[in-house]
Amino acid sequence: MNRMSDEHELVRRCQEGDLQAFRRLVERYETRIYTLACSIMGDREAARDAAQEAFVRAYQALPGFRGQSGFYTWLYRIAVNTCLNAAHKERRRLDRTSLDALLEAGEISSETLFGNAPAETDLERSELQEGIQAVLNDLSPDHRAVIVLKDIEGLSQEEIANALGCSVGTVKSRLSRARAHLKELLRPIYTEWIGSEPA
């Protein structure tokens, strides 16, 4: 049985009330969903809570799942919306550990944030990350989400629109505003650490 048909079978069994089948789906996707939650929430504890809530919501909504999209795509959208709701509700911002975690996990490269001139020493790199983290903390949850989904997760604008439940035009608008805001906020950091302004 291939992975896709195995997944369909697990979903079918879940819809019939098989908790073991759902546990297998959780085990299959929990790391990816937690990583996504960390990217959006920034706080590891909050990310863990949001990931758990996303799985609970998915389980509750499974009877209505018709398979018009893949299970993971459906779960991903639930997770994104769960994280955004939590971020709006609690006004959470990315904490100082989240950027480190993303870099260590390989979810984002220093080149993505720093261009072609990363800091030369570990101390400089750490201080630069803290400066960038403080900047990311100033983005609204909606703006942070589009930056994460586009620049870290690598989704297309259409996929982001689907994940967020909005139009492609809204995604383009949010992405443009988020990047403009990020560029302005990063300007002092680039000037201090790299010696030039962001392109």
191 plus 126 within the same structural domain: yes
The last residue of one of the domains, among 71, 92, 113, is: 92
Dist CA 58 CA 51 (whole Å): 11
pLDDT value of residue 41: 80
Note the pLDDT of residue 25.
93
Four-point Cα dihedral 67, 83, 25, 74, nearest 10: 10
Q: Total structural domains in the chain? A: 2
- For residues 71 and 123, state if they share a domain: no
- Does this model's pTM top 0.75? My answer is no
- Same domain, residue pair 54 and 107: no
Give burial (CB, 10 Å; 0-12/13-18/19+) of 125.
middle
81 and 157 both lie in a single domain: no
The verdict on 180 and 110 lying in the same domain is yes
What pLDDT is attached to residue 22? 93
Where is the domain boundary, 49, 67, 92? Answer: 92
CATH number at residue 179: 1.10.10.10
Query: What does the pLDDT profile of the chain (199 residues) look like in tens digits?
Result: 566 678 889 999 999 989 999 999 999 999 999 988 887 887 788 889 999 999 999 999 999 998 888 899 899 999 999 998 888 776 544 444 455 555 555 545 545 454 444 445 666 666 666 666 566 667 888 888 888 888 878 889 999 998 888 999 999 999 999 888 888 877 776 566 555 555 5
**Whether residue 72 is found in the same domain as residue 112:** no
Under a CB-based contact definition with an 8 Å cutoff, are residues 42 and 95 in contact? yes
Q: Are residues 81 and 31 in the same domain?
A: yes
Do 123 and 142 have their domain in common? yes
Examine the domain organization and report whether 12 and 78 are in the same domain: yes
What is the CATH classification number for the domain harbouring 22? 1.10.1740.10
- The reply to whether 157 and 171 lie within a common domain is yes
Instruction: Please give the DSSP secondary-structure letter assigned to residue 101.
Output: H
pLDDT at 96: 40
- Predicted local distance difference test score (pLDDT) of residue 111: 53
Identify the domain containing residue 12 by its residue range.
Answer: 1-92
Residues 69, 100 share a domain: no
Residues ≥6 apart with Cβ < 8 Å to 25:
7, 10, 11, 14, 71
pLDDT of 152? 76
End residue of a domain, out of 61, 92, 123: 92
Residues 103 and 197 in one domain: yes
